[in-house]
Amino acid sequence: MKKLNIRKIVVAVLWIIGLSGLLASLAFVGRKEKTVVAGNLTVNILNEDENSFIDGQDVKTFFNERKDSILKAQLGNIRVNDLEKALNSHPAIENAEVAIDINGDVTMNVTQRTPVVRILTSNGESYYIDTQSKLMPLNDSYTARVLIASGAINEPYARRYTMSVNEMCKNDVLKNSSVLDDIFILSSYIAADSVLAGLIHQINVTEEQEIELYPSIGDHKIVFGEVKDLKEKFEKLKLFYTEGLNKTDGWNKYSTINIKYKNQVVCTKK
C-alpha cells in the first residue's frame, strides 16, 4: 500500500481554499458592480469628418425620446444589447457599440451611414442610397454632397427601404423592374475615382432606362447607355476630355458626347 504524500495533500487543500475565496470575492465584486449607478455618458461619432447626420447630443436626445434611462440607472439594469439594437435602428447610424465600465461610465461608439447618391424620383420624392446599398432618408439639418440621380425613377422609399439594393437584385419580382441597382453600381464606381467624382455631378435615367451623365464643367450631356463596360467607357471619356476638349477648347462646343458604343466616341455639335 502506497504512503500518502502529506505535502501534496496540504498543497491541494490550500489551492482549493484559495480558489474558493477568489470565487467568493469575484461574486461579491460582481454583485457590487451591478449596484453601481451610471453617472457619465460619452458618445463618439467615429466618422464625424465625413458627414454630419448625427452628433453626440442627437444620440442622447434619441434615448430621451425613447424614455430609455441610462444615466442614474444601476449597471445591472442596463442592457447593452438592447441599447446597441436601438442605436442600429436609427436611420443615420450604420453601426453602434456600447461599453460600460465598473465605474459607471457608459461609452457609445457610433459610425454614421455614408450616402453615395441622392435619388430624386419622378414623383418628387427624395432619399439616399448609402455605401452598404441601403436606402436612407434625408436629414432635415444636413445635406450630403453626393451625386444626384433623377429622371424615370419610380421607386418610392416606403416600398423599398426594408431591402438593400443588393437584396433587390436577388428578388425575382424587383430585379427586372428596379433601376436602383444600376444607379448604385454606377455611383459607387464614380465615387471611387477621384477624377470622375470631381467631373460628374448628376445621373439621369431616360424613359428607355438608359443612363445619361451631366458633368460639372461644360454645357453638354454624356450618353452612357447601359450600365456595363464601365471601365472602358470611362477611360474613353477621360481620354476624350484630356486629348480632345482640352486641346480644342471645346468644353462648350458640343451638346452631346456619346460613349455608349464600343471603341468610339460620337459627338454632336451645338
Q: What CATH number should be reported for the domain holding residue 81?
A: 3.10.20.310
pLDDT at 12: 55
- CB atoms under 10 Å from CB of 93, counted, come to 20
Who contacts 196 (Cβ-Cβ below 8 Å, separation ≥6)? 189, 190, 234, 238
User: Quick one: 207 and 180 in the same domain?
Assistant: yes
Residue 192 lies in a domain: yes
Number of structural domains found in the chain = 2
User: Quick one: 186 and 212 in the same domain?
Assistant: yes
Q: What is the DSSP letter of 132?
A: T
User: Quick one: 177 and 203 in the same domain?
Assistant: yes
H or E element: which one contains 115? strand 115-120
Question: Does residue 146 contact residue 118 with C-beta atoms inside 8 Å?
Answer: yes
User: Quick one: 161 and 258 in the same domain?
Assistant: yes
User: Quick one: 96 and 127 in the same domain?
Assistant: no
Residue 35 lies in a domain: no
Residue 7 lies in a domain: no
Domain that holds residue 200: 115-269
- Spatial separation of the C-alpha atoms in residues 41 and 142, rounded to whole Å: 25
User: Quick one: 105 and 121 in the same domain?
Assistant: no
Tens-level pLDDT at each residue, the chain (270 residues): 444 456 655 555 455 555 544 444 333 334 445 567 767 889 999 999 989 999 999 999 998 888 877 867 777 788 889 999 999 999 999 999 999 888 888 999 999 999 999 999 999 999 999 999 999 999 988 999 999 999 999 999 998 888 889 888 888 777 777 899 999 999 999 999 999 999 999 999 999 999 999 998 878 899 999 999 999 999 999 888 887 666 656 667 788 999 999 888 888 887
* Residue that terminates a domain, selected from 80, 112, 144: 112
User: Quick one: 218 and 123 in the same domain?
Assistant: yes
User: Quick one: 96 and 197 in the same domain?
Assistant: no
User: Quick one: 126 and 260 in the same domain?
Assistant: yes
Question: Does residue 200 contact residue 147 with C-beta atoms inside 8 Å?
Answer: yes
User: Quick one: 142 and 223 in the same domain?
Assistant: yes
Of the candidates 253, 259, 252, 209, the one whose C-alpha atom is nearest the C-alpha of residue 230 is 259
Residue 65 lies in a domain: yes
User: Quick one: 47 and 180 in the same domain?
Assistant: no
* Residue that terminates a domain, selected from 50, 82, 112: 112
Residue 33 lies in a domain: no
Instruction: Indicate which CATH number applies to the domain containing 139.
Output: 3.40.50.11690
User: Quick one: 247 and 138 in the same domain?
Assistant: yes
* Residue that terminates a domain, selected from 60, 93, 112: 112
